Structure 1
């Protein structure tokens, strides 16, 4: 099963909550950059995970941090949660072919966890309602609920666990770039000042129809970009590079460090990618939004 990455086209940090987390308003869209998970039954009750680093098509992938394969990995956490919830005695062998970079703001870990819930439900013949999937996803992480949804574009609120699917998909071409460095999500949120923008996600959603796309690029926003730039000079460097590119608009996704530009076509995106690679950016990919 394929686990897609995502981009945050709009991200507003509304307030800091008493539990230490933050209330968000964000619009996320899935893109055609995927990890792959292979699920195989075994003869024991154990769930094992093997990670294989894969290149994204013909793209060079920068060095990845060593990823855990034990109980701290979101794939194992999702499998364990599902086993306990459904009272399953069976085990599984999971192979994760990793193409989405870590510490990138692309949601790779969350997508892998969501795909694990769906994949093991099929392998173990567990019938879960969509509400049950969302409840399990909320226990695993803020973005997991988006990836268990049935649409490629959604508005997410709260910590990200309240998901309102959008039936009208985003239809855009992007060039995505990531430096070799990453960022800690908690560190970025710690530096964030909530409530800096008054534009709401509802205003952004109204710009999604094709006839309003020029308004969409004007309202592109991410409250986490400024704190990320304070913490990581590579994000500032990417912003400076994108300022020189003829893209419609550009910004960081999630808590970084990946950065994207909106392009008019795949040809336009490939041209921008070539310029970014020539500038020494180690990870560059041409993608488009998923349709479902």
Structure 2
């Protein structure tokens, strides 16, 4: 019988780059919450080797933005190799690719949880920088290169995400950060992300003027967010979809998906270990 598990998006509320490690990896300090926006991972046993399928299942918009290749770089494929198991895995992607919401890492962490992984969460850094945080779940503080995770008191928040129709490369953002540094805001990567993708700066300014809330950057982008509700922003949702409310808006850089979601606790989003 197949086992189904949710893989929550993560939202970076604060991110500081505090140094670089001997091998060039950036050292960070970040506060992260798990969100009610989730991928769905369904796992079945198999006697005929591993099979991984990824399907775009967006809350609104084109499915192509939500699909990722199934190859040796795929986080789910790598998680199965990490565990040393074969499985029939189907992932319904609702977290867009290249949006700074940690969808791939959360998929890998969900798979580890489904197979009862009880090892040190920091060991899962081999699968991706956000996997240890996703594995612990809830509200956490992350240090090192993402491998040091400290559970924090749960934070109950409601957020509106603005997801544009472009992705941003995390590697490119960190490379830009090495030249530009931080503008002193809550996310040290904001200036670098705007350098990599100039449309991001224009969109942030446009949304700030429109709604009167300063936009914040999720991870390395491209998602912008505010801690508010759609009602606060006077935006009518197109439909309710489980634990999220979804709409769209037009902007000078193209259509933007708008998602209201809330933080979810460790007992729901992670392994519940303290």
TM-score, with structure 2 as normaliser: 0.83
1:237 maps to what in 2?
202
Counterpart for residue 144 of structure 2: 158
Which residue number corresponds to residue 289 of structure 1? 263
Tell whether the 8 Å contact from 1:100 to 1:108 is kept in structure 2 after alignment. yes
> 1:188 Cα deviation (Å)?
0.4
Once the two structures are TM-superposed, the CA of residue 160 in structure 1 deviates from its matched residue by: 1.1
Residue aligned with 2:107, SS? helix
Distance in 1 of aligned mates of 2:64 and 2:202: 19
Match of 2:125 among 123, 128, 138: 138
Counterpart of 1:177?
162
Matches within 5 A, 1:49-64: 49-56=52-59, 59-61=60-62, 63-64=64-65
Alignment match of 2:99 (pick from 76, 100, 104): 104
Residue 72 (str. 1) matches residue 44 (str. 2) = no
2:110 matches 1:115: yes
Structure with higher RCO (Cα < 8 A, 6+ apart): 1
CA pair 144-226 structure 1, distance change in 2 beyond 3 A: same
Give the alignment's TM-score, normalised by structure 1. 0.79
Residues 144, 82 of structure 1: alpha-carbon distance in 2 compared, 3 angstrom cutoff = same
Structure-1 separation of matches of 2:206 and 2:248:
8
Post-superposition CA distance 1:244-279 (Å, at most 9, x none): 14455421111111111121x452256287896143
Count matched residues: 251
Q: Distance in 2 between matches of 1:185 and 1:196?
A: 15
SS of equivalent residue, structure 2 residue 17 = strand
Unaligned runs of 5+ in 1: 122-127, 199-219
- Indicate the structure (1 or 2) with the bigger Cα radius of gyration: 1
Counterpart CA distance in 2 for 1:38 and 1:106 is: 20
What is the rounded CA distance, in whole Å, between the counterparts of 2:73 and 2:110 in structure 1?
17
Give 1:181 deviation, angstroms: 1.3
Query: What do the CA deviations read for 1:134-161 (whole angstroms, capped 9, x no partner)?
Result: 1441211111001111x41000001111
Question: What is the DSSP-based 3-state SS (H/G/I as helix, E as strand, rest coil) of the residue aligned with 1:268?
Answer: coil
Question: For the aligned residues, what is the CA RMSD?
Answer: 2.3
Task: Say if 1:48 and 1:136 are closer, same or farther in 2 by CA, change over 3 A.
Answer: farther
Which structure is higher in strand share?
Answer: 2
Aligned partners of 1:104, 1:249: CA distance in 2, in Å?
Answer: 19
Aligned to 2:173: 188
Q: Measured at CA, do residues 176 and 270 of structure 1 come closer, stay the same or move farther in structure 2, by a change above 3 Å?
A: farther
Note the residue ranges of structure 2 that are not aligned, 5 or more in a row: 239-246, 267-274
- Larger helix fraction of residues: 1
